[in-house]
Structure 1
Amino acid sequence: MAEGVQDRSEGVPGKRCGTILLLAEELSNCRDIVTMQLCANKLDKKDFFGKSDPFLVFYRSNEDGTFTICHKTEVVKNTLNPVWQPFTIPVRALCNGDYDRTVKIDVYDWDRDGSHDFIGEFATSYRELSRAQSQFTVYEVLNPRKKCKKKKYVNSGTVTLLSFSVESEFTFVDYIRGGTQLNFTVAIDFTASNGLPSQPTSLHYASPYQLSAYALALKAVGEIIQDYDSDKLFPAYGFGAKVPPDGKISHQFPLNNNMENPSCVGIEGVLESYLQSLRTVQLYGPTNFAPVINQVAGTAAQVTDGSQYHVLLIITDGVISDMLQTKEAIVTASSLPMSIIIVGVGPAEFEAMEELDGDEVRLSSRGRYAERDIVQFVPFRDYVDDSGNQVLSMARLAKDVLAEIPEQLLSYMKTRDIKPLRADPK
């Protein structure tokens, strides 16, 4: 289904500034993704002082006969026989699931000023490309202008499809429907830097009118989390406190005071146990993450077939005391079906947390790199709405905190080549 919408832009009152044409086409539900690699041979020389700097531009044909760019390869410098890197593209983007629809490929010589020189073109289809699974496919690169001008013109080189493979792209929901169980564990910071819980300045202080920062973060994230946890039982721990009866420092004490079964029923059960612990333990220190990370990692290591996935939610106020051990624990856990969410509360600087969240640089420990990025960090203060709309603020917090979990779960399944089980049709 193709639609056209025409709109006139009026940036300056009373003056027409141009026309915007919006075209839309209904996407197919094809979930296949293609990985392919191409090379070229004897392309035309376009540069005066060198050879050529070739790259390919792929176009999907639309229902109305127009073409839309769907992929560009990298530029391979100074060669007439380039080999491009393999690339991956959804079949939806390449041909919208129509295997016989034309796919046009242009070959260009890259120029620094952006006026890239056209070398030639060729056309194919998904169906034709897929034959390369059993044989190399060679395409002649033709330049229509040269063909018209030169009688002896043969081609402007050839492009060879070296490899072509297809696999299905599964979603987070596919795994959940297929029976993958999400198991959430909560760990709360009980170190003295949070302040005495009885004092209004404490991050653990709960007034008769408002929940503490810890309780707010736990409730905001937990109420969404519990919808994905089938048994609604959450192991919940505290760390960095002296616990009764002997007053020993613990970094993984159960909030419900039950070492045999630390699970609480629902997020309300976790909140209740958390408030009870505040009345019975002594806030102390240091701020050690590694023990509780290793605790959850030990559980995650018991079932690695994709039927179970663990998420550890850590709520903390400050600087990690055992940074080296924490890095080591995360690097080890990165090969397991597990993710870690860290919510930072209070005014502290959280540079160390940003380092653990390997979005920019992959986390490493003792020369060993994390297999996957499994940590998501968010500072709670970024979600305190000055207008006082607490519901909206906590919804934004929960959304950003959980944003990376689906991708992290998928990355684990992909590295282990685990496909979702078919959901029970009932």
Structure 2
Amino acid sequence: KLMVTIPVCREFIYSIEIKAIRDGEHLYDDYATMQFCANKLDKKDFFGKSDPFMVFYRSNEDGTFTICHKTEVVKNTLNPVWQPFSIPVRALCNGDYDRTIKVEIYDWDRDGSHDFIGEFTTSYKELCRGQSQLNIYEVVNAKKKIKKKRYINSGTVRLTSFLPFMCFRTQIHFTVAIDFTASNGNPSQSTSLHYMNPYQMNAYAMALKAVGEIIQDYDSDKMFPALGFGAKLPPDGRVSHEFPLNGNTENPYCNGIHGILEAYHQSLKTVQLYGPTNFAPVVNHVARYAAAFQDGSQYFVLLIITDGVISDMAQTKEAIVNAAKLPMSIIIVGVGQAEFDAMVELDGDDIRISSRGKLAERDIVQFVPFRDYMDRTGNHVLSMARLAKDVLAEIPDQLISYMKSRAIKPHPAPPPYSPGDKPQTNPV
């Protein structure tokens, strides 16, 4: 069981915060809304100034850093004012208010080769002090500091506002569904999206790992039900459109992204890719669970990874229209080089999806083509940050739209943290 905290007013939300519920106890995290500006950043563009943006990282116990937010780009200025953004406190510091938060500043380039301007560190405890002299930071470029004796800094960043706000608290459940249809090609051939290459990951594994790690990063117990669809199963060769990747119909949960990948590779060895490509069964599969919890206490997200070919468009539209009444969202990640016209249609951003003349009550589908996030410059961190933002971009609004449609009111956020308070420890 997982819990998600979603703000009432979505202002540049980067992601959703998920945590485990232990022994039925509600463990609450609050959100913080903050805004930053900078002054006299380094000029990086030859014909202009700079196009700066910030990337926030949470420090981990092993000394590594995990990206947790990326701001928008402010064009052609050395004195940017970024928009306010809202982020779960746990995403920033994992419950430890003294934990280091690293912030890097880049100059955006169209080709993706963003120039590093500098960085600074802070903590949630420091940010809680709000707008003050204590929250003005020097931006330092270590390489530039070594090369130039008179180097002072690459500009300053100032926290201009810091506010807690009201939020929903809802348990959220992710289900992963993978396309095992023949349109993906024979896994034994190198042209297949499911190609079993012993030396590198295929397209599905790459997408699964990238998107799975985004979800996993905010999940305390890291247990996910994982399904496959469109394959013939042993021993009788029956076609299934909602089979458990681990082969256990009683317990389809996999332990983290590594568990899902292991079950996926094992399935490739045992099932036969077939068809047709029917989405409706996995949509209805998750919808059955969502239908049992319509009081706002739980919310369900189905992640479908597919090559974009679909055989049951009419049935899928009907399933989505029905699911739009339920506490449920669908994320579709497209792999391969297809046009994905059907997936764009299901997304419903331009035209609300309908079935038999009935419009969906709300937009619940987000489509993301994975190929758009394969950074050719090798800047994996920034490309995955952009992928993370877009994968989860619509979930907060979709959850809030469900709450509003059922007149479910938000809970007040916990009292703001006082710097004199004892730091919390990770409750999970």
TM bucket (normalised to shorter chain) is 0.5 to 0.7
8 Å CA contact retained: 2:286, 2:300: yes
Residue 323 of structure 1 aligns to which amino acid in structure 2?
Answer: M
Partner residue of 1:347 out of 312, 333, 337: 337
Query: Could you tell me which amino acid in structure 1 is paired with residue 299 of structure 2?
Result: Y
1:23–1:333 distance in 2 versus 1, CA, 3 Å? closer
Once the two structures are superposed, residues 246-286 of structure 1 have per-residue CA deviations (whole angstroms, 9 ceiling, x without a partner) of 11011001001011111111121111101110000000111
Q: Residue by residue, what CA displacement relative to the aligned partner does 1:115-144 show, whole Å, maximum 9, x if unpaired?
A: xxxxxxxxxxxxxxxxxxxxxxxxxxxxxx
Shift of 1:379: 1.2
- Structure 1 residue 367 and structure 2 residue 357: aligned? yes
Structure possessing the higher radius of gyration over alpha carbons: 1
**CA distance change for structure 1 residues 190 and 170 in 2, over 3 Å: closer, same or farther?**
farther
Establish whether residue 194 from structure 1 lines up as the match of residue 184 from structure 2: yes
When residues 222 and 12 of structure 1 are mapped into structure 2, their CA distance, relative to the original with a 3 A threshold, is closer
Q: Quick one: which of 244, 263, 273 aligns to 1:273?
A: 263
Secondary structure, counterpart of 1:396 in structure 2: helix
Question: Contact conserved, 1:181 with 1:229, CA < 8 A, in 2?
Answer: no
Alignment partners' CA distance in 2, 1:340 and 1:215: 20
Q: C-alpha distance in 2, partners of 1:321/1:272?
A: 28
Whole-angstrom distance in 2 between the partners of 1:335 and 1:266? 29
- Give the corresponding residue for 2:300: 310
Distance 2:276 2:317 in 1: 16
* Residues 232-271 of structure 1 aligned to structure 2 (within 5 Å): 232-271=222-261
Alignment root-mean-square deviation, CA: 3.3
Q: Which of 378, 383, 393 is the equivalent residue of 2:383? A: 393
Contact kept, 8 Å, 1:196 with 1:202, in 2: the verdict is: yes
**Is residue 314–residue 343 contact of structure 1 (8 Å, CA) maintained in 2?**
yes
Please, which of 208, 215, 224 is the counterpart of residue 205 of structure 2?
215
Q: Percent identity?
A: 72
1:41-60 pair list within 5 angstroms: none
The whole-number CA distance in structure 1 between the counterparts of 2:218 and 2:235 is 36
In 2, distance between residues paired with 1:378 and 1:266? 22
Gaps of 5+ in 2: 1-36, 41-45, 49-76, 87-163, 416-423
- Structure 2 contact 185–192 (Cα < 8 Å) conserved: yes
- Contact 2:183 2:309 survives alignment (8 Å): no
Higher relative contact order (CA 8 A, sep 6+): 2
Gaps of 5+ in 1: 14-19, 30-168
| Deviations, residues 154-192 of structure 1 (Å, cap 9, x unaligned) | xxxxxxxxxxxxxxx976xx22xx3x1111000000011
TM-score after normalising by structure 1: 0.58
Measure, in 2, the Cα distance between the counterparts of 1:338 and 1:325: 17
The letter of the residue matching 2:283 is I
| Separation in structure 2 between the aligned mates of residue 340 and residue 12 of structure 1, nearest angstrom | 43
SS of match in other structure, 2:330: strand
1:357 matched residue in structure 2: 347
Q: Is the partner of 2:286 in helix, strand or coil?
A: helix
One-letter code aligned to 2:395: I
Q: Could you tell me which residue of structure 2 aligns to residue 288 of structure 1?
A: 278
The 8 Å contact of residues 331 and 371 in structure 1, kept in 2 or not, is answered as: yes
How many residues are matched? 271
Aligned to 1:418: 408
Give yes or no for contact 1:255–1:274 (8 Å, CA) kept in 2: yes
Asked if 1 retains the 8 angstrom alpha-carbon contact of 2:165 and 2:413, the reply is no
AA aligned to 2:337 is: P
Given that residues 182 and 228 in structure 1 are in contact (C-alpha distance below 8 angstroms), is that contact kept between their aligned partners in structure 2? no
For 1:246, the aligned partner's letter is D
SS in 2 for 1:361: coil
For residue 405 of structure 1, report the CA deviation from its aligned partner.
Answer: 1.0
In 1: Cα distance, 2:327 partner to 2:333 partner: 20
Distance 1:231 1:299, change over 3 A: farther
CA drift of 1:406 comes to: 1.3
Structure 1 residue 390: Cα displacement: 4.1
Residues 1:357 and 1:401: Cα distance change in structure 2 (over 3 Å):
same
One-letter amino acid of the structure 2 residue matched with residue 405 of structure 1: I
Deviates most, 227-236 or 247-256? 227-236
Task: Tell me, yes or no, if structure 1 residue 407 matches structure 2 residue 397.
Answer: yes
Between the aligned partners of 2:228 and 2:80, the Cα distance in structure 1 is 55
Cα offset, 1:219, TM superposition = 1.3
Q: Conserved in 2, the CA contact under 8 Å of 1:182 and 1:229?
A: no
Contact 1:355/1:363 (8 A) holds in 2 = yes
Q: Is the 8 A contact 2:321 2:360 kept in 1?
A: yes
Cα distance between partner residues in 1 of 2:351 and 2:279: 20
- Are residues 324 and 209 of structure 1, via their aligned partners in 2, closer, same or farther at CA, if it must alter by over 3 Å? same
- Alignment of 1:338 with 2:328, yes or no, is yes
Q: Shift of residue 306 of structure 1?
A: 1.4
Given the alignment, which residue of 266, 285, 300 partners 2:290?
A: 300
Paired letter, 1:403: A
Is the contact between residue 346 and residue 353 of structure 2 (CA under 8 Å) also seen in structure 1? yes
Partner residue in 2 for 1:328 = 318
